[in-house]
């Protein structure tokens, strides 16, 4: 197994630098499984939703689904990513200081990783505290 960083995953997805994109494709379509850790996935989503690319929620969901369909790509914890994707997809909008806001993918991943950690260690996580008003709409969160 090999692992890739955010830059390699972005070149693969965006094909915005042909030379690097071809190298990224060769890695991802090669003979070894390719690990995408949670930090790489979150950073990738952050870049794709940022000012330069401005992907919307549906496009982010489609992108993650494409990665799930890639034969060689292995997520750090696919079950947690899948649960986070579900929570992200179902996140309602709220108004915060006059602006429409939804929990983002990182919020959903944080909540689901905390819950999974509790299950793995036997130390149940009763609540995930956040000040983020949109993230408070995800089950298991509470304001301190």
pLDDT of residue 67: 97
Helix (H), strand (E) at residue 100? strand 99-102
pLDDT of residue 66: 96
Instruction: Read off the pTM.
Output: 0.89
Distance, CA of 87 to CA of 111 (rounded, Å): 9
Cβ-in-10-Å burial (0-12, 13-18, 19+) of 54 comes to exposed
Distance, CA of 111 to CA of 104 (rounded, Å): 11
The total number of residues shown for the chain amounts to: 144
Average pLDDT over residues 136-144: 93
pLDDT of residue 144: 95
At 85-134, the pLDDT tens digits run: 999 999 888 887 888 888 899 999 999 999 999 999 999 999 999 999 99
Distance, CA of 15 to CA of 9 (rounded, Å): 10
At 4-52, the pLDDT tens digits run: 999 999 999 999 999 999 999 999 999 999 999 999 999 999 999 999 9
């Amino acid at each position: 197994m090999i692992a890739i960083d955010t830059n390699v995953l972005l070149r693969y997805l965006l094909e915005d630098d042909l030379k690097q994109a071809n190298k990224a494709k060769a890695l991802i379509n090669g003979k070894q499984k390719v690990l995408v850790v949670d930090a790489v996935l979150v950073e990738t989503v952050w870049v794709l939703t940022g000012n330069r690319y401005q992907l919307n929620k549906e496009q982010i969901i489609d992108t993650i689904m494409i990665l799930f369909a890639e034969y060689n790509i292995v997520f750090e914890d696919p079950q947690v990513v899948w649960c986070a994707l579900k929570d992200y997809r179902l996140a309602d909008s709220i108004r915060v200081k006059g602006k429409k806001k939804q929990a983002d993918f990182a919020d959903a991943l944080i909540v689901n990783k905390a819950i999974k950690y509790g299950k793995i260690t036997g130390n149940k996580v009763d609540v995930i505290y956040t000040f983020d008003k949109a993230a408070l709409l995800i089950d298991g969160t509470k304001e301190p």
